[in-house]
Amino acid sequence: LDLTVAANGGNATSPLQYGLMFEDINFSGDGGIYAELIRNRAFQGNTVHPSTLLGYSAVGGTTLSLKNLSQPLSSALPTSMNVAVAKASSGDVGFSNTGYWGIGVEVQDYTGSFWVKGSYDGSFTASLKSDITKETLASVQVPPKASSSEWIQHNFTLTPASAAQNSNNSFILTFKKSGVTGGSLDFTLISLFPPTYKNRPNGLRKDIAEALKELNPKFLRFPGGNNLEGDDPPYLWYWNETIGPLKDRPGRPGTWGYQNTDGLGLIEYLHWCQDLELEPILAVWDGFYLSGPVTPQSELGVWIQFALDELEFLMGSTSTKYGALRASLGYPEPFQINYVEIGNEDNLGGGNASYSAYRLPMFTEAIKAVYPDITIIGSTPTVDPIPDHISLDYHEYSRPDNFVREFGLFDHYNRSHPILIGEYAVIEPNNASMASVDWTSGATRLAFPSWTGSVAEAVFLIGAERNSDFIIGASYAPTLQNLNSFQWVPDMISFTADTTKDVLSTSWHMLQLLGNHLITETLPTTGGNFGPAYYVAGYNNQTGSHMLKTAIYNATADVPVSVSFKGVSAGATATLSILTAPSGDSYNNVGTQVVKSTNTTIKASAGGVFKFSLPNLSVSVLEVQGR
């Protein structure tokens, strides 16, 4: 590769080049980035997932049962847990909760609360205990305010003196059997939070949010993915049931086989955007369930209004109905939404015809009429005809070779409709006898992103960067996976309750490199072909740095590179950052990190030429020091 990079003449780059996509899949929200530690905290359920006592066990011989009391905590949370003491041993009795496959315990404050109803005279004891050694890791007495006539919230803080050896720990709540009159106490909305990212109440798990922030992402696409759509009527993602006090959120059967608490709701998503400095890309429900039912044109108006109400809730002044609702919940300042995606993958499951015929045009027209500056994103590039002035969402789940073949895909695209690459990932290895992905169940999926896959994704992303005048940005999907229970592999970040054992995949490392070397304009190059080196050159006008980003795929030997940038003279210094791994099949796993990162300083020789060589299956950035 012998490249000369021009001083100008390229494309202005989208400021949102690398971003995030989030939906609750793989226990990535509940049991994941949503920092709540208590599993099944309010016994939420419905006809799809009836309420259960999942996560709870009796302590001291109590009898636990679900009750729908005539006076529930709220209409959203009709079910509570009755803790009966008749058969209990005398002394301390109560219940325990396992958390989401354990609870990591560190030396920090844990903020907890529970609601109780019943006649009780005595104090409660909240504690964290090791399931294995039975050691008490933290304990606090909670003065009782219980009453038989109303639900009363009790608050407490637990501060462990030392960190636990592992996450095999439970939360325990006990009380004195002798203090109970009436044979039992009823409990619900039992909650325990560690310190959250930027200390947001009801916020995000710190380690995961920090790992996301390290990618330097620029947008968040939410709340799905399939989880926006709902499997079957009536369980779409109702934004209005994800707001306000937790006691007013009923939860819903998520699309991925488990109950969502909706504690991570609409406002929490916007806080996520604020705290990580992300542009929100809000997906709205558009009349289509995953299992196929399509809302007829005559009935779509209700759902268009539902989306408009959501936008008014977020952006409206406090003199509007929904802006006032937002203010009444404690958020007088409006949020700003600049991007709205209409649905998700409406090309699938029989949705395409109605999407093209009326759903996308009707939503677009209605939203544009009120918010002319919002960028509308159609959920698939297959829509036909494409309404004027809209963008489209391109998804790609494929094999490494396919991603590399798509390096030039966007060079030939219809540039009048900007593209969001809202989901992509290499999900299966190359297969000589099958080029496309095998979607049948039992197909060989990668358990974790492989290095070959991550390099192929880099090739594809570099191809997107070359066209970043009309590529809005790209987000890997799915983003998160709880290793104890998941529905989709591979994922970008995997985790358990033990916050010290997160797996930052090979693709995370590749994205960290590309996302932290943003350019503001591409620069034309001469002197090279594409393959096995795939590259983009550019300039960042904030730092004054020139860059060359390269991925090497299917090279038979190291690739020698010599590159000069117009305007960069002999003696200039650059940092060459290269990512490699021991083999293409290797992957990061719990406790195993295969990606190797090297940084070297290179000086430009006569004529301002930088010379170096790049190994096969590498992703690199040469950044010339700017101002």
Close Cβ partners of 160 (under 8 Å, ≥ 6 residues apart) = 105, 106, 107, 108, 110, 128, 137, 138
* Of 344 and 620, CB closest to ligand AHR: 344
* Of 399 and 466, CB closest to ligand AHR: 399
Buried-exposed string 309-327: b where 16+ CB fall within 10 A, e elsewhere: bbbbbbbbeeebebbbbbb
Which segments within 477-605 are labelled E, that is strand? Answer: 480-482, 493-495, 503-504, 521-522, 525-526, 533-540, 545-552, 559-565, 573-580, 596-603
CB of 101 to ligand AHR, least distance (A): 22
199 phi-psi bin (left φ>0, alpha ψ -120 to 50, beta other): left
> Which residue has tokens 């974790």?
448
Residues 295-314 that bind ligand AHR (CB under 6 A): none
Q: For residues 70 and 107, is the Cβ–Cβ distance under 8 A? A: no
* Of 42 and 427, CB closest to ligand AHR: 427
CB of 33 to ligand AHR, least distance (A): 15
CB of 344 to ligand AHR, least distance (A): 5
What tokens does 298 get? 């005559």
Among 63-71, 221-229, 297-305, 322-330, which window interacts with ligand AHR (CB under 6 A)?
221-229
CB of 305 to ligand AHR, least distance (A): 25
Residues 482-511 that bind ligand AHR (CB under 6 A): 488
Counting residues that bind ligand AHR (by CB under 6 A) gives 11
CB of 477 to ligand AHR, least distance (A): 4
CB of 225 to ligand AHR, least distance (A): 3
CB of 478 to ligand AHR, least distance (A): 4
CB of 277 to ligand AHR, least distance (A): 24
State the Cα–Cα distance between residues 611 and 446, nearest whole angstrom. 36
* Of 405 and 445, CB closest to ligand AHR: 445
Among 317, 363, 368, residue whose Cα is nearest residue 344? 363
CB of 79 to ligand AHR, least distance (A): 29
State the Cα–Cα distance between residues 160 and 112, nearest whole angstrom. 13
* Of 13 and 344, CB closest to ligand AHR: 344
CB of 377 to ligand AHR, least distance (A): 13
CB of 516 to ligand AHR, least distance (A): 24
State the Cα–Cα distance between residues 132 and 141, nearest whole angstrom. 23
CB of 45 to ligand AHR, least distance (A): 23
State the Cα–Cα distance between residues 336 and 311, nearest whole angstrom. 9
State the Cα–Cα distance between residues 603 and 626, nearest whole angstrom. 13
Which position among 26, 28, 96, 226 is part of the footprint of ligand AHR (CB under 6 A)?
Answer: 226
* Of 204 and 477, CB closest to ligand AHR: 477
* Of 251 and 343, CB closest to ligand AHR: 343
Helix/strand/coil (H, E, C) string of 313-328?
A: HHHCCCCCHHHHHHHH
Residues 366-405 that bind ligand AHR (CB under 6 A): none
CB of 213 to ligand AHR, least distance (A): 21
Which position among 10, 22, 23, 110 is part of the footprint of ligand AHR (CB under 6 A)?
Answer: 23
Among 509, 535, 394, residue whose Cα is nearest residue 454? 509
State the Cα–Cα distance between residues 352 and 383, nearest whole angstrom. 7
Residues 407-426 that bind ligand AHR (CB under 6 A): 423
Among 61-69, 223-231, 307-315, 594-602, which window interacts with ligand AHR (CB under 6 A)?
223-231
Among 219-227, 238-246, 428-436, 564-572, which window interacts with ligand AHR (CB under 6 A)?
219-227
Close Cβ partners of 36 (under 8 Å, ≥ 6 residues apart) = 30, 191, 192, 193, 261, 263
* Of 143 and 442, CB closest to ligand AHR: 442
Among 450, 473, 453, 461, residue whose Cα is nearest residue 409? 461
Residues 423-482 that bind ligand AHR (CB under 6 A): 423, 477-478
Which position among 344, 356, 506, 550 is part of the footprint of ligand AHR (CB under 6 A)?
Answer: 344
Q: How many helices (H) does the chain have, and how many strands (E)? A: 10, 33
* Of 362 and 477, CB closest to ligand AHR: 477
* Of 345 and 457, CB closest to ligand AHR: 345
State the Cα–Cα distance between residues 22 and 13, nearest whole angstrom. 24
Among 570, 553, 563, 533, residue whose Cα is nearest residue 623? 563
CB of 62 to ligand AHR, least distance (A): 40
Q: Which residue is nearest to ligand AHR (CB)?
A: 225
Buried-exposed string 132-156: b where 16+ CB fall within 10 A, e elsewhere: eeeeebbebebebebeeeebeebeb
CB of 445 to ligand AHR, least distance (A): 12
Residue 361 has a CB neighbour count (10 Å cut-off) of 18
Is position 220 an interface residue for ligand AHR (rule: CB under 6 A)? no
Q: How many degrees, rounded to 5, is the angle at CA 205 between CA 201 and CA 207?
A: 140
State the Cα–Cα distance between residues 68 and 539, nearest whole angstrom. 63
* Of 262 and 423, CB closest to ligand AHR: 423
What tokens does 495 get? 């985790």
State the Cα–Cα distance between residues 340 and 325, nearest whole angstrom. 21
Dihedral (Cα; 402, 408, 410, 415), 10-degree rounding: -150
* Of 36 and 396, CB closest to ligand AHR: 396
Among 480, 447, 401, residue whose Cα is nearest residue 586? 447
* Of 5 and 377, CB closest to ligand AHR: 377
* Of 280 and 608, CB closest to ligand AHR: 280
* Of 25 and 536, CB closest to ligand AHR: 25
Tell me which residues touch ligand AHR (CB under 6 A): 23, 25, 224-226, 344-345, 423, 477-478, 488
